């Protein structure tokens, strides 16, 4: 990777492989080696690589209308906003489009300032992005500390601890931001009534409740956003990753009174909601609906949860849909990622004892079985040398 070292900044470190092509749930490196992709661009390529619907939609759009800026409307942005509004089940919902999850969370943070309040409550170990506002929300000291001072007035409490959340929210709180399931922290599912409790505390104090659905959204958990299991309706939803099916696209959706907080000129994004990215998003949604992928997600998920729980060395399987975290009985997760790559499998280790998998939502049961076989072999080799 000499060319990488000589031309790119070192913020990612040096990648171990160079990928040159992909089809479905497989990618190929520069040496021609195939890998089963069980990370999907970190929960982004929800239809895998080279899905015909996305290829067709993007090709048609780029030859028709490429970029218009937000001085003008175009059909795709209107249709996509209406689709997302429908998925919320609330006609009051209004959408702001941007390019990433960090930008969506920055927009939510900025929106909360329109309440006249400035205090924010987030959770420890959360991940909301790396731009300065989103980083201020992120509850991971290793990512935050080198860039202090960050925004003031942001407190972090333990995820899943309702009492801690209740103590921190007050009449000065502008917003509370939580992930329905924590992704970057290792796929952590909160207690059953946690989101309901947070909703109640926000209502009692007039604070906005923001659900960061960047990683859980767009069918990843078997639902459109990932918070539906709670029965709670937030004031703000942030989306990205799977929304564009591999193209950069994010969204901040505000509901109810929050949908009217932004006024003309308050916020913007040059590329947000551009014709090409929104064409891809519409193709993603159409494919999910036509191919009944949400049902498929739950079927494959049931298989993986059952099979992975039986793998020697796995002590816990958690998550929802195809966002799954595996806790190992040894601190060998990083080594397991390397061994899996050697055996033709791409996975991720958020920490030394946790593996995260997030394959394409249309992954076949056959490839899910192949994953279990390779993963089991890789873990056995790592545990026993």
ω into 108 cis (within 30 of 0): no
The answer to whether residues 244 and 276 touch, using CB atoms and an 8 Å cutoff, is: no
Residue 102 is labelled as binding a ligand: yes
Cα→Cα distances 260→172, 264, 384, Å = 20, 10, 59
Q: State yes or no: 43 annotated in a binding site.
A: no
Contact status, residue 329 vs residue 348, Cβ threshold 8 Å: no
CB 249 within 8 A of CB 97: yes
Phi, psi at 324, each rounded to 5°: -130, 135
According to DSSP, the residues that pair with 134 across neighbouring strands are: none
3-state secondary structure of 28: strand
Residue 24 known to bind ligand: no
Distance separating alpha carbons of residues 119 and 286, to the nearest angstrom:
39
**How far is Cα 49 from Cα 37, in angstroms, rounded to an integer?**
10
Q: Is 94 annotated as a binding residue?
A: no
Would you say 349 is a known binding-site residue?
A: no
Taking the C-alpha atoms of residue 123 and residue 188, their distance in angstroms, rounded to an integer, is 12
The answer to the question of whether 73 is labelled as a binding residue is no
Dump the DSSP string for 272-339. Answer: TT-HHHHHHHHHHHHHHHHTTHHHHHHHHHHHHHHHHTTSTTEEEEEEETTEEEEEESSS-HHHHHHH
DSSP 8-state assignment for residue 230: G
Q: Where are the alpha helices (DSSP H) in the chain?
A: 2-7, 40-43, 52-62, 75-88, 101-113, 132-137, 141-144, 162-168, 194-205, 275-290, 293-308, 333-342, 365-384
Write out the DSSP string of 254-275: E-GGGGGS--TTS---SSTT-H
Sheet strands side by side (includes 323-328): 314-320, 323-328, 354-357, 348-351
Distance (Å, whole) CA 192 – CA 358: 23
Binding site feature residues: 101-102, 127, 130, 269-270
Binding site feature residues for pyridoxal 5'-phosphate: 101-102, 127, 270
Binding site feature residues for N(2)-acetyl-L-ornithine: 130, 269
């Amino acid at each position: 990777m000499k060319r990488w070292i000589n031309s790119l900044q070192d913020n990612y470190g040096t990648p171990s492989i160079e990928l040159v092509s992909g089809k479905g749930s497989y990618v190929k490196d520069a040496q021609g080696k195939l890998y089963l992709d069980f990370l999907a661009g970190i929960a982004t390529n929800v239809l895998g690589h080279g899905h015909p619907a996305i290829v067709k939609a993007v090709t048609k759009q780029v030859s028709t209308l490429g970029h218009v800026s937000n001085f003008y409307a175009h059909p795709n942005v209107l249709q996509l906003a209406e689709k997302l509004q429908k998925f919320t089940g609330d006609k009051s919902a209004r959408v702001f489009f941007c390019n990433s999850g960090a930008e969506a969370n920055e927009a939510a943070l900025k929106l909360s300032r329109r309440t006249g309040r400035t205090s924010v409550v987030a959770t420890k170990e959360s991940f909301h992005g790396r731009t300065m506002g989103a980083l201020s929300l992120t509850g991971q000291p290793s990512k935050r500390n080198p860039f202090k001072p960050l925004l003031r007035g942001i407190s972090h409490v333990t995820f899943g601890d309702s009492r801690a959340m209740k103590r921190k929210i007050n009449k000065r709180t502008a917003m509370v931001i939580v992930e329905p399931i924590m992704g970057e922290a290792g796929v952590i599912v909160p207690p059953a009534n946690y989101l309901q409790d947070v909703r109640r505390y926000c209502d009692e104090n007039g604070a906005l409740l923001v659900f960061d659905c960047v990683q859980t959204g767009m069918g990843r958990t078997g639902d459109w956003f990932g918070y539906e299991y709670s029965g709670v309706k937030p004031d703000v939803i942030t989306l990205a990753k799977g929304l564009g099916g591999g193209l950069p696209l994010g969204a901040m959706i505000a509901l109810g009174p929050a949908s009217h907080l932004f006024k003309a000129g308050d916020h913007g994004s040059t590329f947000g909601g551009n014709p090409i990215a929104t064409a891809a998003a519409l193709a993603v949604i159409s494919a999910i609906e036509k191919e009944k992928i949400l049902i498929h997600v739950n079927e494959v998920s049931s298989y993986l949860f059952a099979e992975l729980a039986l793998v020697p060395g796995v002590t816990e399987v958690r998550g929802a849909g195809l966002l799954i975290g595996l806790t190992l009985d040894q601190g060998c997760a990083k080594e397991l990622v390397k061994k899996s790559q050697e055996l033709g499998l791409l996975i991720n280790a958020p920490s030394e004892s946790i593996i995260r998998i997030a394959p394409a939502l249309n992954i076949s049961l056959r490839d899910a079985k192949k994953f279990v076989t390779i993963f089991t072999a890789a873990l056995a080799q790592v545990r026993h040398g």
